[in-house]
């Protein structure tokens, strides 16, 4: 099987290194700059449990240099996805699976829900550019439960978590999803096929749509956020709003916010991806985590005053620092 990782950063490099080391796939990368140079010199590199794992890189470069694939794992920042989608054609054969291993609500989330209004989600796919470049027939949904970072270009550090959930965007089971989940399990992931991947995406979002922007605003690690009762109370109110939005779109959550807070506390001290982006002066992925919840809420008639407050504050924070586009 031919697998390409488009975006060989913390998550993409993690998945690519694991797959390449397992030896059941020929794993290539679309990368550039220092990451491309490091991959070409060292191959895939992953440090976990104190050990450094290296694996052969099939090829790397631009999409035209890599060629058609069986699976393309897209692991870029949401802010870059529109440009990526327009460049992916050389990687796509009629059977190619596109697996977006990314944060937040994806561009295709409402495409199979015409009763809600399947017009493009402007917060994550302005003008429908991504949907035009990546037809839904190629897509398999994905949720990543892992904490990783890059200590230098091309070198991924794995902190914890091995979970990958994959599923058909329209729901239900399929042979291609079962085959993909088996490939990922063979590479050491706790991978499972889901027949309701939209719910799995919304559940993860429900937990990180608050702590990510709060950590970006405050610079606090998650353990400190969870230790402040006033901040936790605010997060709870925002989560209740997101829970109501989810219930309106078939993604009802059968937990209370306190239940999810307990899970978050159990993870201990860590820096969210948005906090890491702020510290590295990279654009923040606010739209796929927060703006989109407000947009869907407006479509289904759910008021989101606490989410609106969180969005407004974080958006202003990002604009002042040049990490989020001006209006």
pLDDT digits (tens, 9 = 90+) for 21-69: 999 999 999 999 999 999 999 999 999 988 999 999 999 999 999 999 9
- Please state, in angstroms and as integers, the Cα–Cα distance from residue 221 to each residue in 207, 214, 215, 232, 267, following that order: 15, 9, 6, 13, 11
Domains of the chain in start order, with CATH, are 2-195 (3.40.50.720), 199-320 (1.10.1040.10)
Sign of CA dihedral 193, 197, 203, 207: positive
Q: What is the pLDDT of residue 247?
A: 96
Q: What is the pLDDT of residue 224?
A: 97
Set 2, 56, 77, 204: catalytic member: 204
Cα–Cα distance between 199 and 193 in angstroms, integer? 13
Q: What is the pLDDT of residue 22?
A: 97
pLDDT > 70 in the chain, percent: 100
- Residue 327: band (very low, low, confident or very high) from pLDDT cuts 50, 70, 90: confident
Specify burial of residue 151 (Cβ count, 10 A radius: 0-12, 13-18, 19+): exposed
Least confident among 10-14, 110-114, 168-172, 183-187: 110-114
Q: What is the pLDDT of residue 117?
A: 73
What's the rounded mean pLDDT across residues 291-295? 98
CB 243 within 8 A of CB 255: no
The answer to whether 56 is a known catalytic residue is no
Sign of CA dihedral 177, 182, 188, 190: positive
Q: What is the pLDDT of residue 203?
A: 97
pLDDT digits (tens, 9 = 90+) for 175-206: 999 999 999 999 999 999 999 999 999 999 99
pLDDT digits (tens, 9 = 90+) for 211-260: 999 999 999 999 999 999 999 999 999 999 999 999 999 999 999 999 99
pLDDT digits (tens, 9 = 90+) for 111-163: 877 777 778 999 999 999 999 999 999 999 999 999 899 999 999 999 889 99
Q: What is the pLDDT of residue 16?
A: 98
Cα–Cα distance between 323 and 327 in angstroms, integer? 13
The pair of three-digit structure tokens given for residue 98, joined into one six-digit string: 């596109």
CB 194 within 8 A of CB 168: no
């Amino acid at each position: 099987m031919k697998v390409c990782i488009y975006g060989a950063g913390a998550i993409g490099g993690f998945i690519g290194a694991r797959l390449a080391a397992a030896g059941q796939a020929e794993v290539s990368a679309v990368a550039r700059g220092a990451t491309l140079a490091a991959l070409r010199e060292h191959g895939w590199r992953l440090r976990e449990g104190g050990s450094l794992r290296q694996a052969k890189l099939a090829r790397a470069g631009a999409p035209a240099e890599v060629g058609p694939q069986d699976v393309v794992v897209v692991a870029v920042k949401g802010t870059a996805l529109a440009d990526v989608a327009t460049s992916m054609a050389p990687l796509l054969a009629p059977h190619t699976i596109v697996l977006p291993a990314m944060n937040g609500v994806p561009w295709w989330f409402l495409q199979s829900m015409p009763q809600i209004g399947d017009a493009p989600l402007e917060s994550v796919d302005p003008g429908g550019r991504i949907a035009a470049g990546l037809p839904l027939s190629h897509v398999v949904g994905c949720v990543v439960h892992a904490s990783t970072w890059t200590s230098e270009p091309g070198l991924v550090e794995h902190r914890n978590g091995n979970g990958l959930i994959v599923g058909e965007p329209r729901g239900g089971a399929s042979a291609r999803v079962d085959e993909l989940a088996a490939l990922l399990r063979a590479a050491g992931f706790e991978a499972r096929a889901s027949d309701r991947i939209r719910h799995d995406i919304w559940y993860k979002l429900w937990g990180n749509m608050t702590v990510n922007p709060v950590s970006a605003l405050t610079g606090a690690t998650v353990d400190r956020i969870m230790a402040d009762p006033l901040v936790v109370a605010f997060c709870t109110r925002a989560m209740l709003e997101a829970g109501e939005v989810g219930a309106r779109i078939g993604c009802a959550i059968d937990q209370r916010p306190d239940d999810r807070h307990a899970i978050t506390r159990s993870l201990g001290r860590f820096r969210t991806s948005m906090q890491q982006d702020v510290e590295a002066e990279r654009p923040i992925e606010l739209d796929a985590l927060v703006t989109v919840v407000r947009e869907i809420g407006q479509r289904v008639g759910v008021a989101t005053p606490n989410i609106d407050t969180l969005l407004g504050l974080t958006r202003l924070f990002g604009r002042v620092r040049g990490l989020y586009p001006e209006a």
